[in-house]
Structure 1
Amino acid sequence: MSGRRILVTGATGGLGHALVREALVRGHSVVATGRSRDAGEALAGMGAEFAPLDLSDQSAPLASLIEGCDGVIHAAALSASWGRRRDFVAANVTMTRKLLDVAAASGVQRFVFVSSPSIFACHRDRLSIGESDIPERPLNFYAQTKLAAERLVLAPRGDAMACCAIRPRALVGAGDRVVLPRLAELAQRARMPLPGGGVALVELTDLRDAAWAICEAEERAPALCGHAINISGGRPVAVRDLAMRLAESLGTRPKLVAVPIGLARLLAATLEGIARATGSRKEPVLTRYTLATLGWSQTFNHEPAQRLLGYQPRYDAVDSLLDEASKLARAGGSA
């Protein structure tokens, strides 16, 4: 089905940009909203209708933004590993609830929520994670509020709006302003600490593959009601191997230092405790969440994505990360 009108929130981020491009390629008209006017000009140049807006603003005109839209792809969020709980609740839960209510009142037919695999993070290896394999308590406020928002979206409804969620893992490629900058900062140090020696497995996802899956979910939403589908590039790689290849692409030579898991857990807990006690807004050098993503394996069961979406990764996400790293090195190394 093509020729419909779709609202994409968070459109000025890396994933949002990829989503707008994918939706336009599919023949939809796109209303793109975000806070960056410069990025918005680029989206308008692609053919989208850009509406500069901060959705967390209580006076944001959501009804006029959604008016005439057939579908909503909600990618806007406060995405960070550290911060105040009330900020995450406002940006991730309250904003999602308002958008859901306005979308339903406006007659929107499809609502796709961009959730997060951060809800799975914990201090143990987890392989072939399924849709409902969620720990009792996610590790940080971001994960807690994304899960709460996801449950709002997936709750049974009394109207005709079809709602589902996609959880894309570790997004990389052109437009990534999260994963590569953080890894590049580590790779530029003289020593790169690797919890547990870096043997944990990670799965990256190319932004283009994630955008395809999310837009495909919007197409198939009536058949996906209540589903949250895990998405990744499907090619696990050890943290240590990824670190070595990334350093090579960046032209750096950090010394990889194995840090015992027990010591890393103690350090993360101590640093978080100090930050909370002092009211620091700055993220500690090591948090329990960061440790969970680097110290323990996390891979997805891809069967549901294949069955429900027909999803198969088209791009090697590791190659995409390394290509962008090489570009960064040629540009002088500023992420």
Structure 2
Amino acid sequence: MATLLVTGVSGFIGSSIAQALIRAGHRVLGTYNRNPPRLPESPAFKSLKTNLTSPSEVRDLLSSPDWRVEGIIHVAGLALDWGKPDAFEAANVSSALHLLEQAEAQSMCFFLYTSSISVHGFGRDHVNTREDGPYTAPVSHYQRSKLRAESLVLGHPGTVPRSIIRPGNVYGPGDTTTLYNILGAMRRGIYGYIDRGRSLTCPVYIDDLVQAYARMVAIYLGSDQDARNRISGQIYNITSGETITWRAYSELAADFAGLTRPKTSIPAWLGHTAAALLTLVYRLLGIKTPPPLTRYRVQQAGHHYHFSMDKARSDLGYQPQTPCAQGLEFSCQAWKKDQAAG
């Protein structure tokens, strides 16, 4: 078994990957930025507060003789549709560069970068879209930074095998950043649709996403050189592969959470106008928190956003196990318990 670095272990995705790798028998060295992870320290797990935008801190992190890292799973980053470009450049691009440089310096077995399926853009409908496109222009600093990071990871000189995973809209028990916010908005009566929620979306249950990472790690650490060569230098979109609209997804969530189904809807043109006005006001006032509506959100909800899983199935053996109806039931049960506990 290997010693692996997982960045962002205090986050929803990073902590889930770390736990799965530990269960598989690996040792995990984790990093966090602000709050320490809930995972307890053990012979198989250690976490360190690390500024991944600092080359010296990254070098120090990977210099411990007791935790000689053999592969990196880079999950940490800034995932917002609001903020200053420099912050996204540092968190999503510079961190990847510093980690990849250390992976090369230490001749590691692999480097996995976590991007986002949003790099495909929202300027057109996506139905069964593959990793090679089509693409449309990004509308957020987040998307632009992820695209730059992808180019850096795949184009950086060196011999360390590297791959990229683009998660779809990740959800699951404990997802306080996306699904729990949706449920909170429903409870307050402020959740609504763009164009009646008719557009397709691209959810992926956390266990299915973790499966993709675990399969990739197993291939890189395994003895099948052809399999390693096949995934090296490749990008993989990871979703549930289901065909489901925003309305169907939201109504399932509302039903399982015991909430009233949302009925409010505005046309896309009005959403774009409102988002533009809100963006202008927030920027003029210097408000750091994101407005309730942004171009990113309107465009994503106003276009079909469905992706092919053929490449992940073929190369990784990826097989989603949790359909939305089941995943949302688990997630909403957890949300209700969290709400009851205060």
TM-score (norm 2): 0.89
Counterpart for residue 215 of structure 1: 214
Counterpart for residue 108 of structure 1: 108
Q: Percent identity?
A: 26
Structure 1 unaligned runs (5+)? none
> How big is each residue's C-alpha offset from its partner over 1:124-170, in whole Å with a ceiling of 9 and x where there is no partner?
3211111121535211011110111111111163x320011011111
**3-state DSSP class of the match of 1:230?**
strand
Counterpart for residue 97 of structure 1: 97
The correspondence of residues 298-313 of structure 1 with structure 2, limited to 5 A, is: 298-313=305-320
Counterpart for residue 18 of structure 1: 16
Counterpart for residue 5 of structure 1: 3
CA RMSD in angstroms comes to: 2.2
Q: 1:53 aligns with which of 36, 50, 53?
A: 50
Structure 2 unaligned runs (5+)? 221-227
Q: Distance in 2 between matches of 1:227 and 1:74?
A: 15
> How big is each residue's C-alpha offset from its partner over 1:158-214, in whole Å with a ceiling of 9 and x where there is no partner?
x32001101111111123122212211221133532100111111211111111211
The correspondence of residues 1-335 of structure 1 with structure 2, limited to 5 A, is: 3-35=1-33, 38-40=36-38, 42-44=39-41, 47-57=44-54, 59-65=56-62, 68-133=68-133, 135-155=135-155, 157=157, 159-221=158-220, 222-223=228-229, 224-253=231-260, 255-332=262-339
Which is further off, 199-208 or 130-139?
130-139
Q: Distance in 2 between matches of 1:172 and 1:163?
A: 26
**3-state DSSP class of the match of 1:39?**
coil
Native 8 Å contact 2:121 2:136 kept in 1: no
* Residue identity in the other structure for 2:117: P
**3-state DSSP class of the match of 1:21?**
helix
Q: Distance in 2 between matches of 1:214 and 1:138?
A: 26
> How big is each residue's C-alpha offset from its partner over 1:27-53, in whole Å with a ceiling of 9 and x where there is no partner?
22211111355425x242593122232
Which is further off, 289-298 or 69-78?
289-298
Native 8 Å contact 2:123 2:137 kept in 1: no
Q: Distance in 1 between matches of 2:42 and 2:208?
A: 22
**3-state DSSP class of the match of 1:219?**
helix
Native 8 Å contact 1:21 1:46 kept in 2: no
* Residue identity in the other structure for 1:141: H
Which is further off, 56-65 or 257-266?
56-65
Structure 1 residue 117: Cα displacement? 0.8
Q: How many residue pairs get matched?
A: 331
Q: Distance in 2 between matches of 1:58 and 1:284?
A: 34
Structure 1 residue 329: Cα displacement? 2.4
* Distance change in 2, residues 1:88/1:266 (3 Å): same
**3-state DSSP class of the match of 2:191?**
strand
Structure 1 residue 316: Cα displacement? 2.1
Q: Distance in 2 between matches of 1:88 and 1:146?
A: 9
